[in-house]
Amino acid sequence: MSTMRINGKTYNIPNGKSISMINGSVYVDGKLLTDAPDLSGVLEIKWDGELASLTTDLSVSCDNVSGDVHAGQHVTCGRVEGSVNANGHVTCGRVVGDVKAGGHVTHG
């Protein structure tokens, strides 16, 4: 079991899960976790382990991701084992897959 914090609220989630945050709703492996209509601006996720993948229509800041990251705005993250796709800028560590961004890209 992992702990996920989204903008200060804590959720207990089984390890190795895919997280989606679309239109103010949070999904874990496609199942609705919570409606959070106050999600806006920079979405900050704290996870004690690696995410399988992350999809959001907002900006996102997170640690390592073992799959893909898709964001409607900006992405700031650690290592990404998959691809990163953002409508805004991307700042991240090593990316194994492709990086597509509507703005500038900085990665290690």
With respect to residue 104, please indicate whether it lies within any of the assigned structural domains.
no
Tell me the pTM. 0.76
Instruction: Report the number of distinct structural domains present in the chain.
Output: 1
DSSP state of 8: T
CA distance 39 to 27: 13
With respect to residue 58, please indicate whether it lies within any of the assigned structural domains.
yes
With respect to residue 107, please indicate whether it lies within any of the assigned structural domains.
no
How many residues in the chain? 108
With respect to residue 74, please indicate whether it lies within any of the assigned structural domains.
yes
* Residue pLDDT, tens place only, 39-96: 555 555 666 666 788 888 888 888 888 899 999 999 998 999 999 999 999 999 999 9
Segments forming the whole domain that contains residue 18: 2-98
Place of tokens 């899960």: 17
Query: Residue 106, Cβ neighbours under 10 Å: how many?
Result: 11
| Sequence letter at residue 69 | V
Which of 46, 45, 51 minimizes the C-alpha distance to 15?
51
